[in-house]
Structure 1
Amino acid sequence: MSVQLTAKPSQAAETVVVRYGSFAESISIAELENVVKTGKFPDSFKSYTNRLSEEQRNLIVGALRTKIPINVVTMSNLLNTQIGTTILEDLATVIHREDDAGAKALRASLVLAATQPKGFSLLSSIAAYPSKRLEIDLNQAFRVFKNLNTAFWQTQQFMSAIAPQLASREPQLSLPMDATQPGSGKVEEFTLDLNDDKRNRNLPVDIYWSDTATVEKPVIVFTHGFGSVRTELRYLASHLASYGFVVAALEHPGSNAANNKAAIEGKTRLLKPQEFLHRPQDISFVIDELEKLNQTADHPLQGKLATNKVMVVGYSFGGGTALSIAGASLQPYSLKQRCKGNLAILSFGQGIQCIAHELPEKSYQLRDKRVKSIVALNPTSSLMFGETGLGSVEIPTLVLASSADKTNPALTEQIIGFRKIPCPKWLVGIVGGTHLSVKDPIATISQEGKPNTPLSGGEVIGEQAADIRKFVKAIVLAFAAQLTPEADKYKVFLTPDYAQLASTKEFPFRLVTEIPDDAATVIEQLANQ
């Protein structure tokens, strides 16, 4: 396999110097091409390769052979984002230079390598490096390359493909308002301590509301992620309440932070399979209790709660809960084979879903017909609903996917499933966003000092993710408004043009209602691997 560059820099790498501890050896680009072709290193390199384990040798050959599905436009756009800068800085630590231009030179080689007709590869980027001599620290390379995965790069290609028509023009929009700014209502909060005696469930619920609350607007119920708390989307709850929506943020006792703490102390399981059933049932119970509140004399919310017209917003595991209550059929039977012996290669989100295989029935239908629309932020969906479960979602659904999400990878957890959901539906893509980016900083654990691994770390949170949360406020508000008499006024915020207008250099946003053919091809490539 020969690497032929379409536009080679005047000074391009001809020799690679590989350092492993105090040992160093040179290998030419031509010899590397032969390694890719044969899988064998040259005889002159044996004294070097003998120092490596078989796993390390296989990792080198595999990395050189890997074709990453990303074109030059996508690569260039990615490297301009915050997550792209982090990737670039990580890769630059592999290259030894006397000056500090490593990241800049590496950026040039990555962009040039992405122009290759046969696709981007590690070898093509090495050959494109703008220096005749390239020195690599192999110990560092092992660490960095283990953190890279093909699914991540496929997601970048998909995000670029879902809105290619936007690249060549500026959106011309007339916005009725700035939906990222608070509404006119003065927000108040109070907490309900609810008990479902039939299921022995204590359900604390935070209520957000304002003096502009009206029965014309749907009640909004928040369902949190695994091991989290009900305040994880507090900024969003306050924003919606300022526009007259009443928001109920509940805490699920079998999958919240307190349950995680008890599990670590050995007092309970980390997650019981029944929790997949309890969580949607928790929402239905809360709606029942809000209806009682709606009829309570002299209560400030009396007559203002549209409990027959509810929108559910779920994050992560809560996104899966939202899909369940929207009609997606939970199919634990299908998990028995899919999860058997595969736990080591699954994402964290998939590992959690596998617990549902312990449920006794083949399938469960947990639809609550009072729920009229849902928002699923970075949801789990790849395994728990089997091949057909998402096809029974009955209501308008907005799914948000973050391109650098390691916990619930976008392609497997959101994008593939999105194709199975009937219309009407919206898919929002956050290029450069990570799993924790949409969470409120008050409920987000500091990531300082946490390792960056293939399964976790590298999170964009807090102030770094402020633009993402700002965009989320606008689109969720607009989606909730679709259940009100003001639906038409807010439709503009649920368009590809608004996503482009709201995009920043660090975080390009995408929004589609159907997946274009070019982007669907990326999904098919993943499915066939």
Structure 2
Amino acid sequence: MSHSLFEYVRAYLTSHGPRSGLNPPRMTVPTTERRWGQRLHSILALGSFLAAAIAPAPAIAAEEIRFFYSVAALTLRVESLAAFAADGTTNANIRDFLRVVKPTEEEKAKFQRTLVEPVEIDPLLLSRLLNTDEGDRLLTVLGNTIEIQGGINGKPALRAAMIEAANEPGGLTVLGFFEQLPVNMQINLEKALWRAKQAEYLVGATERLVAVTKAIGLEEAEGYPAVDFAQLPNPATPGSATVVRDRWDLEDPSRDRSFYVDVYRPQSQETGEIPVVVFSHGLTDEPESFSELGELLASQGFLVVMPQHPGSDELQAAALIDGTSRQIFHRNEFIDRPLDISYTLNELERRNEAEFGGRLNLTNVGSMGHSFGGYTALATAGATLDFEHLERDCTPTGPGRFNTALLLQCRALKLEQPLPNLKDDRVGSVFLANPVNASIFGPNGLANVTVPVMVGAGSYDLSTPFVFEQARSFPWLANAPESFLLLIEGDSHVPIPDLDGGSYFAVTSVIGLTLPSEDLRDYYAEPFQAAFAQVFVAGNEEYRAYLNPAYAAYLSQDRDFDAVLIPQASAPALQAAFAAEAEEFRKL
């Protein structure tokens, strides 16, 4: 999933209006991000307060909040909260609550501020977001903990209270949310604390799996033939070809679908075949976001095509915010995206003789993708959807219930079956960056991928978490003749300068992580993307030396954050470590 939806939301909430056009301006981290982070603090405080600190409780109906723990119960009146928020008044009711919670003076002061800190959010926009499929699923999960009295899922009451509180003159606040709850609610502290314990364990599990992956990579590096990488050029060095960028407007009448394709064409004096790479962008993103990669590969002699995916791009995100759509993405994008790739390759075949002198090599295409685009690339390479596996993961108690990427994947359960064949036999290799893949394909679906694959992951990825997506699924690519996992320590779902306010605030303030330099992703990812394309798309064996765990170790010298590369042969060790963590998680 991409940052772009959040960028749109942020622009809307800060009264700049949604972006429009094909090339909207991008916001960067500095002042705007910090301001958004401060505002988002209230949203995050509300979520953590409800899901962990206050956890589920009955009885609020604008009168009281009741917390249950085993056979004990504690009631907190809203009027007591209001008095405490106003001037710190601690009546007997508040004192009883604080006696149980035992906050420090600093925590108590923060709690007081959190109750009344406003979240500047348009109530209409909030209503639209909460009524998407993804918003509905989030509310269902929260409603399993914060229930309507009698044990009924609290989703309808939570949605109504959030929207009504946002309509208040002072904006959405935690206190206002409590006051707007229409019925008594029950919060089971035991269940909430259990979920908090699980979440805490997953943070540690991620750290341990990253450490295991690094150890595997270092051990693998010692087993490879020694290479003096200092004497070799960086594979991400731009080539000598001049790059011409075109845009094609395509129309597929069989699907009544129109989309554009950004084309990066190399202009050089060389003859012979031209290798082809097709790239799929992520959810709520656009082809233009990956122009640097297109320019780089084209300068090295590749023809690079990047299709737009209408229905899951930035324009679709704008439509949601404008109110002209009710969803973040169209469900049929699970089918249309891979078919967009195939239709783009069909267009290349139609133009090959007239525009490229028949030189395009369309029998061994490299398929690349980011996030939802990673799903897309895998589908074109033969990965099949496993609905039984997906349904198990999408249950409230499934193994991926803390996986944010499930918000996207679970929507596929409503697709009409049988699905059309999404595999394209022209695809000969796949490079995936932060792919959405584990639940929707599962081990059976990924076993159908029989072409070389490189999977890129980031240890700071909050959208497609390493522990749920790449660490879990990489071992399932055992039938790929050559597959690699590239883990970039400190990398997030999008480059640091493009982090949305929520992710920026979460990793720096909530999780307390130290962010790496802005060049982290390009520094590590581009050399491996270029080398992978040279070897498996262009057939240039001189670049195989870079597909080496030792090269990742070489690049990591004198860097605060490391990169590690492991081959499929080491996947069983990662799988064993993941299985051990999963077993401990089940015991919680």
TM (norm. structure 2) is 0.60
Conservation of the 8 A alpha-carbon contact between 1:216 and 1:484: no
The one of 415, 418, 434 aligned to 1:359: 415
* Shift of residue 456, structure 1, vs aligned partner: 9.6
* Shift of residue 466, structure 1, vs aligned partner: 1.2
Report the residue type matching 2:338 in the other structure: P
The one of 527, 535, 538 aligned to 1:482: 535
What are the Cα deviations for residues 441-477 of structure 1, in whole angstroms up to 9, with x where unaligned?
Answer: 6xx366499531699998998x923142133221111
Counterpart for residue 561 of structure 2: 507
The one of 337, 348, 352 aligned to 1:294: 352
Change (3 A) 1:326 1:456: farther
Larger CA deviation: 285-294 vs 146-155: 146-155
RCO (CA 8 Å, sep 6+): is it higher in 1 or 2? 2
Structure 2 CA distance for aligned equivalents of residues 386 and 484 of structure 1: 26
Conservation of the 8 A alpha-carbon contact between 1:230 and 1:249: yes
What are the Cα deviations for residues 416-463 of structure 1, in whole angstroms up to 9, with x where unaligned?
Answer: 21101123211111111111138xx6xx366499531699998998x9
The one of 239, 247, 267 aligned to 2:296: 239
The one of 298, 309, 328 aligned to 1:270: 328
Q: Is residue 380 of structure 1 aligned with residue 380 of structure 2? A: no
Counterpart for residue 160 of structure 1: 214
Change (3 A) 1:146 1:415: closer
Report the residue type matching 2:353 in the other structure: Q
Counterpart for residue 27 of structure 2: none
Q: Is residue 334 of structure 1 aligned with residue 389 of structure 2? A: yes
* Shift of residue 347, structure 1, vs aligned partner: 2.7
What are the Cα deviations for residues 31-54 of structure 1, in whole angstroms up to 9, with x where unaligned?
Answer: xxxxxxxxxxxxxxxx99951666
Structure 1 CA distance for aligned equivalents of residues 540 and 428 of structure 2: 14
Counterpart for residue 414 of structure 1: 470
Larger CA deviation: 444-453 vs 393-402: 444-453
Structure 2 CA distance for aligned equivalents of residues 278 and 456 of structure 1: 37
Counterpart for residue 207 of structure 1: 263
Counterpart for residue 229 of structure 1: 286
Structure 1 CA distance for aligned equivalents of residues 240 and 453 of structure 2: 27
Change (3 A) 1:448 1:266: closer
* Shift of residue 362, structure 1, vs aligned partner: 6.2
Conservation of the 8 A alpha-carbon contact between 2:275 and 2:301: no
* Identical columns (%): 28
Report the residue type matching 2:526 in the other structure: K
Conservation of the 8 A alpha-carbon contact between 2:220 and 2:566: no
Conservation of the 8 A alpha-carbon contact between 2:491 and 2:520: no
* Shift of residue 341, structure 1, vs aligned partner: 3.2
Aligned pairs, how many?
A: 391
Structure 1 CA distance for aligned equivalents of residues 221 and 350 of structure 2: 51
Structure 2 CA distance for aligned equivalents of residues 168 and 510 of structure 1: 13
Structure 1 CA distance for aligned equivalents of residues 424 and 315 of structure 2: 27
What are the Cα deviations for residues 105-127 of structure 1, in whole angstroms up to 9, with x where unaligned?
Answer: xxxxxxxxxxxxxxxxxxxxxxx
Query: What secondary structure, in the 3-state scheme, does the structure 1 residue paired with 2:365 have?
Result: strand
Structure 2 CA distance for aligned equivalents of residues 315 and 226 of structure 1: 9
Report the residue type matching 2:462 in the other structure: K
The one of 243, 249, 268 aligned to 1:187: 243
C-alpha RMSD over aligned residues = 3.6
Counterpart for residue 427 of structure 1: 485
Structure 2 CA distance for aligned equivalents of residues 460 and 222 of structure 1: 31
Query: What secondary structure, in the 3-state scheme, does the structure 2 residue paired with 1:313 have?
Result: strand
Change (3 A) 1:516 1:251: closer
The one of 271, 288, 310 aligned to 1:253: 310
Counterpart for residue 119 of structure 2: none
The one of 308, 326, 329 aligned to 2:363: 308
Gaps of 5+ in 2: 1-93, 108-195
Query: What secondary structure, in the 3-state scheme, does the structure 2 residue paired with 1:379 have?
Result: coil
What are the Cα deviations for residues 147-194 of structure 1, in whole angstroms up to 9, with x where unaligned?
Answer: 982343233323323223379899642554221211111112111111
Structure 1 CA distance for aligned equivalents of residues 429 and 546 of structure 2: 17
Structure 1 CA distance for aligned equivalents of residues 553 and 316 of structure 2: 40
Residues 138-153 of structure 1 correspond to what in structure 2 (within 5 A)?
Answer: 149-153=203-207
Counterpart for residue 279 of structure 1: 337
Conservation of the 8 A alpha-carbon contact between 2:284 and 2:313: yes
Change (3 A) 1:345 1:448: closer
Conservation of the 8 A alpha-carbon contact between 1:380 and 1:408: yes
* Shift of residue 485, structure 1, vs aligned partner: 6.3
Conservation of the 8 A alpha-carbon contact between 2:428 and 2:537: no
Counterpart for residue 64 of structure 2: none
Conservation of the 8 A alpha-carbon contact between 1:173 and 1:498: no
Conservation of the 8 A alpha-carbon contact between 1:478 and 1:493: yes
Conservation of the 8 A alpha-carbon contact between 2:381 and 2:429: yes
What are the Cα deviations for residues 320-356 of structure 1, in whole angstroms up to 9, with x where unaligned?
Answer: 1111111111123433343133699433312100100
Structure 2 CA distance for aligned equivalents of residues 362 and 283 of structure 1: 20
Conservation of the 8 A alpha-carbon contact between 2:311 and 2:333: yes
Gaps of 5+ in 1: 1-46, 61-141
Larger CA deviation: 361-370 vs 196-205: 361-370
